[in-house]
Amino acid sequence: MGRSSVKIMTFRLHVLLALVLSSALAGHAQEIAVDSGAAKAGEFEFRINCAFCHGLGARGGGRGPDLTRAQKRHGNSDAEMFRNISQGIAGTVMPANGTNGQGVGMTDEEINQIIAYLRSIQVKAPAKPLGDAAHGKQLFYGDANCSFCHMVEGKGGRQGPDLSGVGTSRTTDALIESVRNPSQKLAWGLTEPTKEFAQEYATVTVVTAEGKRITGVTLNEDNFSVQIMDGSERIHLLQKDKLTSIKKSRESIMPGYDTDTLKDQDLNDILAYLVSVATK
């Protein structure tokens, strides 16, 4: 196959994150030399090894962030990206190369091809302006009631996922959908080291042998036990054979925020706040 080393043009980056970051980043030109042959090979590798979470075209999936953004949460340099792909990212669901059961694992050469591919597409990042992060923070902890269930940087509730890093680990579209229609795709909670799929934030209602009714989110469940956090953040550790009934629902315990409840601009402000926290 032809692997001509074509140097393609340099790009001026206007990306979503740059707009909400300090002006030091915004407007900076970055020199990127991309080998188009390597980038094409990287696209094959990306589809096989990465797209399962990061989506076709690297635009983000339900689980992995949009990698077309030039400003990446865990490092932008080739060396940082190589390390992240090769070793995974501690504290996230990003696994080390070849350990996630997707794809076949990559050689160093193939990882570099992935990086070349990501460089070749990052100009296509959406330049959608976000809102007022300061106002978003007020809403998050105030009228929008987000913090009743969600924590950011150690402050807030526990019934929903911690949102400190969500601003960069999910696409904007996915975040909007999860606010407007939270039951469409339930958030992933606990992941276990050897388990294939994560626990979802599903809703469960049980009745105990004593006739006590408990409703809450599922922290973890197996064939014989279920762990529930109720509305007052109490944890219930229950054996299924001791329960009178157990009813599971994929209707999220989180209310859907329609545009009457939360205007588009207010939602944009909240997203801007979450992005600002995630890119600190």
Partner 1 sequence: MRVHVTNRMNRVLSGCVLLCLGLAGSAVGQVTFERLVNSAKEPQNWLTYSGDYAGRRFSALDQVNTNTAPSLVAKWVYQTAATGKFETTPVVVDGILYATGPDNRVFALDARTGRLIWNYQRQLPGDIRPCCGRINRGVAVLGNKVFLGTLDAHVMALDSRTGNVVWDITAADYRLGYSFSLAPLAVKDEIILGVSGGEYGIQGFIDAYDANTGKRKWRFDTVPGPGQPGHDSWEGESWKTGGAPAWMTGVYDPATNQLFWPTGNPAPSNRGEGRAGDNLYSNSLLALDPDTGKLNWYFQFTKHDEHDWDATQVPILIDSSSQHLIAQANRNGFFYLLDRTTGKLLHANAYGKITWSDSKDAEGRPVANDVSSPTPEGRTVCPGALGATNWMSPSFDSQTSLFYVTVREQCDIFSTAPQPYIAGHAYYGSAYFPSDKSGPYSGSLKAIDPSNGQTKWEFQHISPTWSGVLSTAGGLVFTGDAEGNFIALDAATGKPLWHFQMGGAVYASPMAFAVDGKEYVAIAAGSSLYTFGLP
Q: Shortest approach of partner 1 to residue 9 CB, angstroms?
A: 25
Q: Shortest approach of partner 1 to residue 47 CB, angstroms?
A: 4
Q: Shortest approach of partner 1 to residue 205 CB, angstroms?
A: 17
Taking the CA atoms of 115, 96, 219 and 149 in sequence, report the sign of the dihedral they define: negative
Residues that bind partner 1 (rule: CB under 8 A) add up to a total of 35
Please identify, using beta-carbon distances, which residue of 90 and 104 lies nearer to partner 1: 104
Among 194, 232, 239, 245, contact with partner 1 (rule: CB under 8 A): 194
Is 223 one of the binding residues for partner 1 (CB under 8 A)? yes
Q: Shortest approach of partner 1 to residue 131 CB, angstroms?
A: 27
Bridge partners of residue 227, in order along the sequence: 220, 237
**What residues contact 152, with CB distance under 8 A and at least 6 apart?**
140, 162, 163, 164, 274, 277
Taking the CA atoms of 199, 202, 208 and 214 in sequence, report the sign of the dihedral they define: positive
Among 9, 154, 224, 260, contact with partner 1 (rule: CB under 8 A): 224
Q: Shortest approach of partner 1 to residue 147 CB, angstroms?
A: 27
Site for partner 1 in 50-89 (CB under 8 A): 51-52, 55-56, 61-62
Amino acid of residue 86 = S
Task: From residue 268, give the alpha-carbon distance in Å to each of 1, 27, 125, 130, 167.
Answer: 46, 22, 18, 6, 12
| Site map (CB under 8 A) of partner 1, residues 244-263, x = contact | ------x-------------
Amino acid of residue 92 = T
Site for partner 1 in 7-46 (CB under 8 A): 41, 44-45
Structural contact between residues 95 and 87, judged by C-beta atoms closer than 8 angstroms: no
Q: Which among 114, 112, 124 is positioned nearest to 50, based on CA atoms?
A: 114
Among 107, 181, 191, 249, contact with partner 1 (rule: CB under 8 A): 107
Nearest-angstrom CA–CA distance, 242 and 224 = 10
Site for partner 1 in 202-221 (CB under 8 A): 202, 221
Among 9, 23, 196, 210, contact with partner 1 (rule: CB under 8 A): 196
Is 195 one of the binding residues for partner 1 (CB under 8 A)? yes
Q: Shortest approach of partner 1 to residue 44 CB, angstroms?
A: 5
Please identify, using beta-carbon distances, which residue of 17 and 217 lies nearer to partner 1: 217
Q: Which among 208, 106, 112, 198 is positioned nearest to 161, based on CA atoms?
A: 198
Q: Which among 60, 56, 57, 55 is positioned nearest to 72, based on CA atoms?
A: 60
DSSP state of 10: P
Q: Shortest approach of partner 1 to residue 270 CB, angstroms?
A: 24
Phi-psi region of 233 (alpha: psi -120 to 50; beta: other; left: phi over 0): left
Q: Residue numbers of the site for partner 1 (CB under 8 A)?
A: 1, 41, 44-45, 47-49, 51-52, 55-56, 61-62, 99, 101, 103-105, 107, 110, 185-186, 192-197, 200, 202, 221-224, 250
